[in-house]
Structures are given as C-alpha cells and as structure tokens.
Structure 1
Amino acid sequence: MGEVVLAAKVTHVPSMFISEQEGPLKGIRDAAIEGLRKIGDLCREREVDTIVIADTHWLVNAGFHINAKPDMSGVFTSTEFPHFLNNMEYSYTGDPELGQLIAETATNSGVTTLCHHEIDTLEIQYGTLVPLRYMGIDKDIKVVSIAGWMYDADLEESKVVGEAILKAVKKSGKRVAFLASGSLSHRIPPNKVVGDYLFKISRPLNQEIDLMVMDMWKQGRTKDFLDIMPKYAEDCSGEGGMHDTAMLFGLLGWDKYEGEAEIMTEYFPSSGTGQCNVVFPLMPSDKPDTTVHPV
C-alpha cells in the first residue's frame, strides 16, 4: 500500500532566484532556501517516489486540473516578475500514473478533475518549479502538479481533492510527499510603492494574523484554524484563495488532524506577502516516524 510520507506548506517567492545571484541582493532569501533544502533532504531520507504539488500560480476556470506529463523540462521566465525570475532552466519527470489515479479518485468523490499527460505544451508554473529547484529535486523523484487556484470554487471542493490525493496514494503503492505551495497573506502593495516592500508586509494586521495562524499550526489547533480559514483567506488575500491549504488539510484528515507543525523557515515578509516553510507531521496511522529537523 502506498503512503504519504511528508506534507508541507512551502514558499515559492521569486526573490529566492535573485538571492542566489551575484549582486546587492545576494543571500537575501538564504533562510527560505535552506528551509526548502531541508524539506528536500527529508524527501530523500523518506525515499519519496513522487512529489505532488498544489500550485497557487496555476489558475483554472472550469474543473480541477493536474499536469503529469512525462517530460517536464524547459526554460522558465515569470510573466509576473520577469525582473526577478527569468531564464530558469528546469528538468523533471512527471508521474502520469499517479496523476491519473488522483484525477479519477477526485472525480469519483464528486469534484470533476482532469489529468493532462499528453499535452506537451501545457506549461509548469513557478509555484511548482521554484520549490523543486531549492529542494534539489532531480529526475529520480517524479512530479505531479495540481492547479491550486480555482476560479469560483469552494474550499470544500479542495478539501475533497486533498482527501482524494490520500486515497489515490494508498492505492498507488508509492511513497509520496505533498506540498501546498503558496503564501499566507498575499496582499501585494500598490505599484507605485511595491519596490519598497521587498522585506515588508503590506498591512501590519496581515502579519499579526499570519503569525497567529502559524501558532495554531505549531500547537496542533487544527479545528480552530479551519474555523477561521475562509474568512482569513478572504480578509488577508490568501494566495490562490488558500485552495492549496485546503487540499493540505484535506489530505491530513481535516479537523481530525492533531499534529503539531514544525517550522523549517521562520515567518518572513516578501513584497508585501507573508511567507514560511512548515512541515506537518503525519498521524501515526499514516506514518509511524514523524521526526523532522527544524532549521
């Protein structure tokens, strides 16, 4: 029987790409990069076969969608932040078998989901590519990317997709890591001042609520968090409507989940948004060894 052996909420800020380059901003995101590297190390230690990523930079308008094409390689430039993230080469291998199984399971659970593995021109978004880069993932671990930004969809639907991911993994015989790739609050400042916010939050209240949410996660107060999640996503502009996070908690067991999260990268503001890297220990029924190694 397959199993989910790692679950995490991760950052994908494009400023990590400029952080690794020579110049005045070199090293500005070292802590975020180090947190992702440690999550990558955990994937290798736990012998992960496939990483499934809910990508909040993939917006879909009708139905839920999965990209599992076998050849995930190319050169990426962000249309949103081309001055930060450009000409980034990548080369990964998709997992059509698992992607199709997730789509079928979600559809059978009442949420229409399509897996695409024969459309060579379907692009991979940077909510998938950036974490994989800093996790140090190579072709020995396969990838499935799931759209994490649904137009006019309920968070309940993403919860069902998260539950379907777990069911599909158990049927698959694979060892899988799941990543919810997206920020906490996501209010980018107005254009005329956004350049001054590389290290600042857009609204102090957003930061206070972000930190409160992270405390809930660390204390295992899942039900309290789920009670506020829809309002939190709305009032603090949660990235992608926080559909990635709904998938994450659906996979973890929703309000039955009692795990106490481990912070791999402490909270940091970036271009007005709130960011972190957090690993959620799996319940004993899914994975006996829940040991992680915080930064």
Structure 2
Amino acid sequence: MGEITIAAKVTHVPTMLLSEQPGNLQGCRQPAIDGHRELGRRAREAGVDTVIVLDTHWLVNAGFHINSNESFEGVYTSHEFPHFIQNLNYKHKGNPALGDAIAKRATEKGVHTLSHQVPTLDLEYGTLVPLQFMDPEGHFKVVSIAAWCTVHSLKDSRVLGEAIAEAIRESDSKVMLLASGSLSHKIWENELYAENNGTFTISREFNRQVDLRVMDLWEQGEYATFLKMLPEYAQLCAGEGGMHDTAMLFGALGWDQYKGKAEVITPYFPSSGTGQTNVQFHL
C-alpha cells in the first residue's frame, strides 16, 4: 500500500539557478535553495521513491494531462526566461504505472485525464527547478502533472487531487507531492520592473498582504477558511496557473478535512512582483 509521505507548496523561481552562479545575483535565493534541499533530505529519509510535481508552468487548454514517461533526459532552456535558465542538464527516472493509474482513477471520477508516454514530451521548469535542488543525483522517480489549467474548474482540480491520493494508496509507491507554483503572481509590468528593483519586490501591496494572511491561515490550521477564499484569491491575486496546483494538493490532502500542521520551510519572499515560499504540510 502506497502513501503520500511528504506534501509541500514550493517555489520554482528561476533566479534560484542564477543564485548559484557568479554574478550580481549570486546567493540571492539561498533560503529558497536551502528549503528545497531540506525537503529533498526529508524525502530521502522518509523512503520516498517517487516525486509527483503539480507544475504550473505546463499549460494545457483541454482536459488534464500527466507526463508519465519511463525516463526524462535532456538539456533545457526556458522560452520564457532564456536569460535565466539556459542549458540546464537533467536526467530523471519516471513512474509510468503510477501516472497511468492516476489518469484512470481521475477519469473514473468524472475528470477526463490523459497519461502520456511520449519521449518528446519534455518537462517544464516548474518541475525541473525543484528537482535541481531536491534531487540533483536523480534518486527519485518523477511524474509531472499539468497545473496551468486555462479552461478548467478548481472543483475538477480538487477531484484530480483526490484521484492522485487514491491511486497512490493503491500503488506501492512512497510519494513526495509538490504543488510547484507561487502564491500571488502579478509580475511587474515591463516598464516598471527596473525602477522598482523588480527582482526583489512585490508588484502589489494588496497581494503581499493577502499572501501573508494565507500563510497565517495555514500555520493556524484554518484550512477550511482558506479553501473558501481560494477561488477569489486565485483571481484577485493572479494566482500562478490559476492555483490549480494548490487545489490539487489540498484535494489529495483531504480538502477541508485536512488537519495536519503547516511548516514554513522558507519564509515568504517576493520575486519579480510575485509572492513565494516553501511550506510543508505534514501528514
């Protein structure tokens, strides 16, 4: 019988990669990197064999989709931020059986989901950046689930999360489940970026205040209150990928019945106008 052993909401800002390179940004994201490495350490200590990433950089326009390839290997340069992520080498094993099982269970529950084993279907950086620091040696198997869902309801994403948990329980996998995306996600307008030191600031004070309130609710265990505000939060604060990763995560955790402790691994920080953190939800 499988289980979700580690669950977390995590950042994937590309400046984490620049933080480890010589230059003006060296060291700038060390707390975020340390948070990722700590989650990786905890996962290995807990016997995790598979990481499922709910990736808000994988955009889909119809249905739900899972990248269930047998293996992943390549060199990645971001189309969005080619000046931030260039020639990133990656090599990871996959878990096709678990990806297929999630898609089957979600579809049975009324949420049409496709699992793909297509060698040319690459990973996006919402998956690759966390793995770069959590699993640099490729210890874990990887399943990536699209969570930038343009025409989907948060209700269906919740059901997909439930299907993820059910399929894991029916497997023999010990899983780390990562919702890879920001809190608020209103990136600075291009003409305002430089004058506002955009790399290190939030674009809207309203968004910062709501982000901090959300983290307070998590730390206080007020998950039901948070989930009631999730649709408006995602809309008014431009939640990354519509915050479908967060709906999937809480669906897997049991939605408003989840009673575990939220532990802030990396304190809140702004990046390019957005709000970021690493938070583990204990099980």
Indicate whether the TM-score tops 0.5.
yes
Contact 1:8 1:279 in 2 (8 A): yes
Q: Post-superposition shift, 1:209?
A: 0.4
How far apart in 2 are the matches of 1:269 and 1:141?
A: 29
How far apart in 1 are the matches of 2:230 and 2:136?
A: 31
1:21-170 to 2 correspondence within 5 Å? 21-117=21-117, 119-170=118-169
Point out the more displaced range, 105-114 or 189-198. 189-198
Q: Post-superposition shift, 1:140?
A: 2.9
Residue of structure 1 equivalent to 2:229 = 228
Aligned length: 281
How far apart in 2 are the matches of 1:232 and 1:269?
A: 17
Residue of structure 1 equivalent to 2:265 = 264
Query: Secondary structure in 2 aligned to 1:242?
Result: helix
Residue of structure 2 equivalent to 1:290 = none
How far apart in 2 are the matches of 1:28 and 1:20?
A: 9
How far apart in 1 are the matches of 2:262 and 2:53?
A: 18
Contact 1:51 1:142 in 2 (8 A): yes
Point out the more displaced range, 192-201 or 153-162. 192-201
Question: What does the per-residue CA deviation read over 1:204-228, in whole Å, with 9 as the maximum and x for residues that have no partner?
Answer: 1100000000010111100000010
Residue of structure 2 equivalent to 1:171 = 170
Query: Secondary structure in 1 aligned to 2:85?
Result: coil
Q: Post-superposition shift, 1:137?
A: 4.3
Query: Secondary structure in 2 aligned to 1:23?
Result: coil
1:201-216 to 2 correspondence within 5 Å? 201-216=202-217
**AA aligned opposite 1:192:** E
How far apart in 2 are the matches of 1:85 and 1:70?
A: 25
Contact 1:19 1:25 in 2 (8 A): yes
- Identity within the alignment, %: 56
How far apart in 1 are the matches of 2:128 and 2:92?
A: 9
Is residue 190 of structure 1 aligned with residue 219 of structure 2? no
Contact 1:68 1:95 in 2 (8 A): yes
**AA aligned opposite 1:270:** S
Query: Secondary structure in 2 aligned to 1:198?
Result: helix
Contact 1:232 1:238 in 2 (8 A): yes
Query: Secondary structure in 2 aligned to 1:193?
Result: helix
How far apart in 1 are the matches of 2:82 and 2:10?
A: 21
How far apart in 2 are the matches of 1:20 and 1:136?
A: 16
Query: Secondary structure in 2 aligned to 1:269?
Result: strand
How far apart in 2 are the matches of 1:210 and 1:139?
A: 33
Query: Secondary structure in 1 aligned to 2:144?
Result: strand
Q: Post-superposition shift, 1:24?
A: 1.6
Residue of structure 2 equivalent to 1:3 = 3
TM-score by length of 1: 0.94
TM-score by length of 2: 0.98
Is residue 279 of structure 1 aligned with residue 268 of structure 2? no
CA RMSD of aligned residues (A): 0.8
Question: What does the per-residue CA deviation read over 1:144-202, in whole Å, with 9 as the maximum and x for residues that have no partner?
Answer: 00000112110000000000000000001111110000000000011112243110000
**AA aligned opposite 2:51:** I
Q: 1:138 to 1:105 in 2, by over 3 A?
A: farther
Query: Secondary structure in 2 aligned to 1:75?
Result: strand
How far apart in 1 are the matches of 2:136 and 2:249?
A: 21
**AA aligned opposite 1:139:** G
Query: Secondary structure in 1 aligned to 2:78?
Result: coil
Point out the more displaced range, 74-83 or 191-200. 191-200
